[in-house]
Amino acid sequence: MAVTIQDVAALAGVSPSTVSRTCRNNPSISEETKERVRRAAKQLGYAMEGISTPATRTVGVILPPSAREVYENPFYLEMIRGINQFCNAHQYVSTIVTGRDNDEILSAVRLLVSSGTADAFILLYSRQGDTVIDYLCLLYTSDAADEL
């Protein structure tokens, strides 16, 4: 049976996305973690050379949690319009992430990340202690991605 990226991740004690980012030599992964992943891959006979996940060219646009605010404020529609114009001009696609509360939005963002559906995110709000922002900050900083 062929060795999978999940097998390498389990042996290295990291997520499959960390193995994938290691294959692409992503700078967000520390050298220590990359080495641990490479050792696990070698031990299992997993060929990491040339392995990479193509970019989806998709940007997630995250709106603030709200039942009404987002729909009544023209700022958000103008921002979405501007982001879409930029994406269209540069052959990217945008996807909108919204929800009634932070938990619903965080669940959607985690799904986009774990499925590799989005390459980047744009947040149209900022709040201290926001779980979505905290998750994305952890995701895109060094070894912290392994904790997710």
Tens of pLDDT, residues 65-101: 987 888 899 999 999 999 999 999 999 999 999 999 9
Strand partners, 122: 61
The per-residue pLDDT for 44 is: 87
Task: Tell me the one-letter amino acid at 95.
Answer: T
Report yes or no: 105 and 99 within 8 Å, Cβ to Cβ.
yes
Most confident of 41-50, 81-90, 116-125: 81-90
Most confident of 14-23, 113-122, 126-135: 126-135
What's the Cα-to-Cα distance from 118 to each of 3, 44, 68, 93, 96, rounded to whole Å? 26, 29, 26, 9, 11
The per-residue pLDDT for 52 is: 47
Whether 126 has a pLDDT exceeding 80, the answer reads yes
Report yes or no: 119 and 55 within 8 Å, Cβ to Cβ.
yes
Rounded Cα–Cα distance for residues 46 and 14 (Å) = 15
Q: What element of type H or E holds 59?
A: strand 58-62
Q: Is the alpha carbon torsion for 6, 12, 15, 19 positive or negative? A: negative
Whether 33 has a pLDDT exceeding 70, the answer reads yes
| Region 111-121 average pLDDT | 84
Q: Is the alpha carbon torsion for 110, 28, 54, 77 positive or negative? A: positive
The per-residue pLDDT for 49 is: 60
Radius of gyration of the chain (CA): 18
Q: Does 102 or 143 have the greater pLDDT score?
A: 102
